[in-house]
Amino acid sequence: MKKILFISYDGLTDPLGQSQILTYIEGLAAGGYKFDILSFEKEDRLRAKGEEMQKYLDARGIGWHYFTFGKAGRLLSKAADLRKMKNNALALAKENKYDLIHCRSYQAAESALRIQSKMGTPYLFDMRGFWVDERVDGKAWDKSKLIYRLLYNYYKRLERKMLANATGVISLTEKAKQEMMSWNISQLKADNITVIPCSADEKHFTIVDNAKRLASRDKLGVPRDAYVLGYLGSIGSWYLLPEMLTFFKQLKQVKKNAVFLFITPSPANMVLEKAREMGLEEKDIYITSATRAEVPAMIHAFDCGISFIMPSYSKIASSPTKMGELLISGIPIVVNSGVGDVKEIMESYGTGVVLDDFSETSVERGVAALDGLQNVSPTSIRNKALEYYKITSAFDRYRQMYNRIWTTAKV
């Protein structure tokens, strides 16, 4: 049985960790691989979910080694975390003689590079997006400040080294793959980059029908006869709340019974304050939170989902998780272009509406197009989405990449 060390700076006790890490590892482990996971966890989530998570992993034969995030100043704590990750990943690799290091994003790839240099173990660079440029585009790193210029330049050099030395690379989008090939990294070949979007578990996310829709609305206190525009996920700098509220405001002009339902872990006031500022009535806004287990039933209340993300250079490498989850549930979605392969997917499958910009004309056209989506059956939306977002297809592509790496590396 092949042994794999999976390294992640994201925690298993986070919602993202459960949907986009644990689901994948559990599926792959069932195919005959032995996984150990090295992760970093938030203290409050670890206290609340750590024991339950440990039992869950133990029952599936998956090893778990974790640390909590440092509490020093931001840059100092990150540096300490990375040092801890590198040292412990190398110690685990020496003890267990892994056949592969599967590293999620850049911090994990730093550890994999060290293990490779010391032991020759091949690694899979599962990029999850252009992290270095995301730090700048998202304004976390201000390049007008010397420290952030130095960090940016250091990690851009390291990015090339990570790609050059990886035995395999996972990209979330075709656009990102094309962009990487333009960087002229001689060791990086197109055949060695596999595109696997953020997929959705077709067993977890069930198809909506009228009975489920009404049951969900009754539970949430949303009017049965409303037209429900729905948002799923966190609200932050990347997610364009004012633009989504502008879309809803226009929708409200056309459909008087429209309401906006947010299923989010973010504070309700983030939404309500902006809604009031834009002249929207609080009675038309519904806000709730949900565990991963609760999400599939809650989103059945939606007539249509919405996800507006700030377009930028780094976002060509992004694959919004909520897109696959909504579409596999048979729910259409309104999105904006400039994010990963979103526009091409929507235009190819006809399961939603794409706005090229947020001008008044584009918003009006987008709202007008919603009527056409009501004629597309949930079954049709789900079947088309399964062609692209089915998680078992993602498992197959990971297995193929693993086998290619072992063949190439002769492990």
Helical (H) or strand (E) element with 167: none
In the three-class reduction of DSSP (H, G, I as helix; E, B as strand; rest coil), residue 278 is classed as coil
Residue type, 51: E
d(CA 119, CA 258): 60
β-strand partners of 193: 169
d(CA 331, CA 392): 20
Contacts of residue 362, Cβ cutoff 8 Å, sequence gap at least 6:
355, 356
In the three-class reduction of DSSP (H, G, I as helix; E, B as strand; rest coil), residue 104 is classed as strand
d(CA 284, CA 227): 11
Q: Are 310 and 167 in contact (CB under 8 A)?
A: no
Q: Is the pTM of this model over 0.75?
A: yes
d(CA 353, CA 373): 8
Tens digit of each residue's pLDDT, the chain (411 residues): 899 999 999 999 988 888 889 999 999 998 889 999 999 999 999 999 999 999 999 999 999 999 998 875 678 888 899 999 999 999 999 999 999 999 999 999 999 999 999 999 999 999 999 999 999 999 999 999 999 999 999 999 999 999 999 999 999 999 999 999 999 999 999 999 999 999 999 999 999 999 999 999 999 999 999 999 999 999 987 999 999 999 999 999 999 999 999 999 999 999 999 999 999 999 999 999 998 899 999 999 999 999 999 999 999 999 999 999 999 999 999 999 999 999 999 988 889 999 999 999 999 999 999 998 888 999 999 999 999 999 999 999 999 999 999 988 654
